[in-house]
Structure 1
Amino acid sequence: MSNTEWLLCPICKNKTRIKLRYDTVLENFPLYCPKCKIETLICVKQFKALVITEPDALDAEPITR
């Protein structure tokens, strides 16, 4: 088994510029894909990438006091 793998974009499934080792842990990492030009927030542990879906601050309703 290989010790390193390329991190794939969760949107278009192409290689990004990030290479992972088996022991790499990323939390709340802003992954930018040069092909589809989309930035995605991810968490990675043991080559498993999980997309974090949070509401954008621009889409949220303003807080009124």
Structure 2
Amino acid sequence: MDKTDWIRCPKCSSKTRTMIREHTVLEDFPLFCPKCRYTCVIRFMDGKLEEIKQPDAKTQS
């Protein structure tokens, strides 16, 4: 049986509404936190969560 767990928000560390398994691979996945209302794009591989920094529309020239 695979172990499942909730993805945690990179900003406030609370549980999001997305569950993952040990072997899950996510690439450019939009993640929303219902508690702090933070939205980001993440990468999840080998049990490690990485937030992908994207340029803000205001900083584009």
Fold shared, TM-score > 0.5 on shorter chain: yes
Give the ranges of 4+ consecutive aligned residues of structure 1 lying more than 6 Å apart after TM superposition. none
Residue in 1 aligned with 2:45? Answer: 45
SS of the residue corresponding to residue 18 of structure 1 reads strand
Task: Say which structure is richer in helix.
Answer: 2
Residue in 1 aligned with 2:21? Answer: 21
TM score, norm. by length of structure 1: 0.83
Which entry has the higher C-alpha Rg, 1 or 2? 1
Which consecutive unaligned segments of at least 5 residues does structure 2 have?
none
Alpha-carbon deviation of 1:52? 0.5
* Residues paired across the two proteins, number: 60
> Percent identity over the alignment?
43
TM score, norm. by length of structure 2: 0.88
